[in-house]
Structure 1
Amino acid sequence: MGCKVLCPSVALLAYLMICQHVRAQCTQPSFTSRNVILTAEHLSTPSFSDGSTVTFECVIGHKPVDLKASKSVTCQGNQWTNLELNCARKSCGSLADFLNGRYEMTGNLFGDTAKPVCVKGYMLAGQETTRTCRDQGWDGRDPVCEPVKCSAPPVIENGQLEDEPFESYDYLQAVSYRCNKGLNLIGQSTLHCSEDGTFKPDPPKCFGGCPAPTIPNAKRIGGKSPPYKLGNFVEYKCEDGYVMKGESYILCSANGWDPEPPRCIAQCTQPSFTSRNVILTAEHLSTPSFSDGSTVTFECVIGHKPVDLKASKSVTCQGNQWTNLELNCARKSCGSLADFLNGRYEMTGNLFGDTAKPVCVKGYMLAGQETTRTCRDQGWDGRDPVCEPVKCSAPPAIENGQLENEPLESYDYSQAVSYRCNKGLNLIGQSTLHCSEDGTFKPDPPKCFGGCPAPTILNAKRIDGQSPPYKLGNFVKYKCDDCYKMTGEDYIVCRANGWDPVPPRCIEDSSMPTWAKAMLGIGVVAGVVGLLCLVYFKCFKKRSDHEKVEKKDEDGL
């Protein structure tokens, strides 16, 4: 009984102690910005328990800024106390100049460098060695600067020194060159022993001209023929079937041809075998030309397949011609489309690109828009349409007429309707229409015709035909008045759609000369005056006769 109570209590206490131990610890501390590092005894410990103390020291090449600053920190819970220690780079001091030389320094603190430089006329003995500020001070030692000496100057082709060469030359000592007879000296004739122990500038060249270029499959199109002197130029062009690599225009310079002579390389233009229904593979499509020996690959164009699966798909450029292509492709087959419910297909064929137009049997029509199916790369596109029974909506109303029977909301295929006109009007067209296979009534509805309106034509007179009203088939013929001409036909007939052709117009004849119009005006005025005179004369004569009668009567009395 005692164990049952004691054992769980001990376990719980141990668990709490472990949890407390896990919670109260610090990870390895780091203060890199202070240029410090843990001392060796703590470096390999990843974590520290609460209350642990560790010590830091300056990293190599550094020293404490404050010698009294504490170098230790303590773990409190899971945090470290602040570190007082802060370190800065050690100073190595400045390096003094040495015999015939000095130092070019980046600074005098740990890690800085000092590059030795000799004064003019002297050079470092042995290899140049840069000195570095280390933990214990500057490494290495002062170098030795010895007087500059140049060995014998270089020999030049087709030329020599003006004087016999020495074994060695002092700093700034000069030598001069000359060329063999008939050659040009290119560059500086005089060189000096420079501070790096070599003669400068580069030695001159003795130049006699450029060799005649040999460029197979090319022809000269500009410049002179050989020999070629300094400054001469030549321009080349490749023969047909070859492409130029390099520049076409070259100049004879001191270093030879500039730029170097070009080459004419055999090439093939981009191959095409359209009659075989093939196309270049993607990696070659953007390349316009190919060098001799190039090989390209073809594939069937979309919707086609190889006639012979074993045929080679590649061709090779030989010179400027392609080898023959074995690959030949034919259109893929989509197979025939079966008839569908109440319909069939009218097909142009069953190969790639062919089409199949759906057609419903009589009395049925396509539901929705007609969609022609096409044989594509993967087979026939689309799907079978739906043919539904033909239905016609109510037939159209006509002016001045009506249906024989009351209209229905819809009509079946071939169902008929009949029209009649109002009393006294003629029915023009078919009186009976049928619901057709496209869902409309056919033929066009009739018209109810009552006649044509009387034409109103200014400056014209009717010379033939009857007077109004005008019934179907009546005609009228017109003539324009003097000084007017007719636009249109003079003979018109009353048709179901009105006058045929449309009534003409009489417009003033602008072709009559001005003097003729003036004379016509004068003639009209003269005619009016004459008419007035005639009336007056008749009235005067009647009055005179009347007076004579009255006088005779008076004499008789």
Structure 2
Amino acid sequence: MHCPPPPSIAHGKNIGEDLTYGSSVIYICDAGYSLEGEYLVTCILEGSNSVNWTKLPKCKGCPAPQVIANGERDSESLEDFPYGSSVTYRCDPDYFLTGAATIHCLSSGTWDQSVPHCKSRQHSTSIPLSEIQCQQPTKIQNGDHSHQELSVFTSGMSVNYTCEPGYSLRGEATIYCTPSGKWSAPAPHCKMIQCPSPPNVQHGNYSAPESIQYTNGKSVNFSCQPGYVLIGEATLNCTASGVWSLPVPHCEAVGCILPQISGGKKENSEIVIQIGANVTLECEDGYVLKGSSRVQCQPDFTWDPPVPVCNQGEQQKGWVYVDDEFAFR
């Protein structure tokens, strides 16, 4: 019996060509999207004489951030935002922005900061706006601000802050001189761009630069041990916002893990056995085999029949014989 071709999913793809009953395909997401659900989809019996695939996963980004009153954001027509994307807000004339102008989509499927809002520049004082002045804008380390040539800043005027290469702005990039004679927000500061150390990947590893600091532009490359497949992108880059360009990948087995046999060949304990392959268990002298001595790796990565035991009390000792052609080393 055969399943129909595995369905497509938005922002992802599937790997595998076997459509027979009991076979499985792997789903992975496009760069910038994280998998929600089981990555392994199996052809199973559905009813008495038909087969179909198990539940499909989804590839998830960040939800569309809200629109603000008296302002707008870019990409308002979009509804789907992948990890690493950003949205920038602007206010209408006679309004100024409070909060971060740009927010970034995190690998958790959430935005890194709250949505800003727009405040009116109107005031109740009878003093003309042109006579209300703010103090000189604060100078910042590793950065600069616009209108350095001016000595007077009156109500309604604004300055824009920028950082030197290798630094990112923390705080509001644009501040306004308000009718109260104060700036709309404190001056921001520039922070050296640095990503956190990437986590260890079970059954895998990554190559890293010699420097222990992961600064903007540095990259790491992930790989898996033999018998495992990398789910996700192999190369991650440290971005200007201080986050990795993509979610950290993980390694999944493409077969069954060889059973841990106490007193057996320890060097075989990490071998991964291909689906459909058989292994044979024999007990040491003084131990009695309970169960079938020959077991087969199943499509769901379990053994059938169950792995036997060598009884002497509660111990299990023996050897496992595996044909080299079936083992990933």
Q: Under a length normalisation based on structure 1, what TM-score does the superposition of the two structures give?
A: 0.20
Structure number with higher relative contact order (C-alpha < 8 Å, ≥ 6 residues apart): 2
Q: Which has the larger radius of gyration?
A: 1
Q: Under a length normalisation based on structure 2, what TM-score does the superposition of the two structures give?
A: 0.31
- Structure ranking higher in helix proportion: 1
